[in-house]
């Protein structure tokens, strides 16, 4: 029961929680109803920065979701040029994070970080397709043991104004490891190796560190989904 009532808070969140708490106290001194509003916002801030543990499927070849949220796009797209993955389209899975989702991002596959690149840009609605090109983003390309590559791109949104990525080039990583965070509301794109079909459909909810987006060792065709 304690696991569901209490979750760890990401270290980047404590400063914001403290600011919200101080503001709530000042509002309370000014007028009690405002203090209650501030208290509710402080609780929301703590909820936003929650960082729960996840159980990651450990079989080699699985591509795990790097983000919590809704799969908003599945289709071919050219990876960002700064990741140096060529100009040919690859299958891309996009996960949109609302302000109520966990925003701690996780590594999608085991391997070595081959490239980390930041690109400044706009702050359009992250659910739009053109956000991949126009918005501020930070991408990481991970090279798997068999030489194939998977990229995950953190994209800022309307409310998001801060992308954090702790990866460095040459770093060995494991699927499910925490590697960054975006605040507040955004999107993560995952570019799959050639010939690998996604195992999720648009509208499906993904859980960072747990949901399998694709299987590099499998032969199952691309899935479709329907609301039931």
Structural domains of the chain ordered from first start: 2-48 (no CATH), 62-215 (2.70.70)
Tell me what pLDDT residue 127 has. Answer: 64
Bridge partners, 191 (sequence order): 92, 151
Tell me what pLDDT residue 133 has. Answer: 75
Q: Give dist(CA 182, CA 162) in Å, integer.
A: 6
Tell me what pLDDT residue 5 has. Answer: 56
Residue among 83, 84, 108, 96 at smallest CA distance from 192: 108
Residue 87 annotated in active site:
no
The residue from 81, 94, 186, 219 that is catalytic is 186
Q: Is the pTM of this model over 0.85?
A: yes
pLDDT tens series, the chain, 228 aa: 555 556 788 888 788 888 889 999 898 888 888 889 989 988 888 887 889 999 999 998 999 999 999 999 999 999 999 999 999 999 999 999 988 898 899 999 999 999 999 998 776 666 666 666 778 899 999 999 999 999 999 998 766 567 889 999 999 999 999 999 887 668 999 999 999 999 999 999 999 999 999 999 988 888 888 888
Tell me what pLDDT residue 183 has. Answer: 75
C-beta atoms surrounding 25 within 10 Å: 14
Interacting residues of 40 by C-beta distance below 8 A, sequence separation 6+: none
31 exposure class (CB count in 10 Å sphere: 0-12, 13-18, 19+): exposed
Bridge partners, 153 (sequence order): 139, 189
């Amino acid at each position: 029961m304690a696991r569901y009532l209490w979750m760890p808070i990401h270290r980047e969140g404590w400063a914001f929680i403290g600011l919200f708490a101080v503001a709530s106290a000042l509002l309370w001194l000014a007028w009690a109803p405002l203090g209650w509003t501030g208290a509710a916002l402080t609780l929301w801030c703590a909820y936003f920065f929650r960082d729960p543990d996840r159980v990651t499927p450990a079989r080699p070849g699985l591509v795990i979701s790097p983000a919590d949220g809704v799969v908003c796009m599945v289709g071919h797209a050219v990876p960002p040029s700064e990741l140096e993955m060529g100009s040919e389209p690859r299958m891309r899975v996009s996960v949109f994070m609302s302000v109520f989702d966990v925003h701690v991002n996780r590594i999608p596959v085991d391997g070595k970080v081959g490239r980390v690149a930041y690109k400044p840009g706009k702050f359009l609605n992250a659910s739009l397709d053109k956000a991949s090109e126009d918005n501020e983003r930070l991408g990481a390309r991970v090279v798997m043991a068999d030489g194939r590559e998977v990229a995950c791109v953190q994209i800022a949104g309307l409310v998001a104004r801060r992308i954090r990525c702790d990866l460095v080039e040459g770093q060995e990583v494991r699927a499910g490891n925490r590697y960054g965070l975006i605040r507040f509301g955004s999107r993560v794109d995952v570019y799959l190796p050639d010939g690998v079909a996604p195992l999720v459909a648009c509208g499906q909810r993904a859980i960072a560190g747990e949901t399998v987006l694709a299987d590099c060792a499998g032969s199952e065709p691309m899935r479709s989904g329907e609301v039931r």
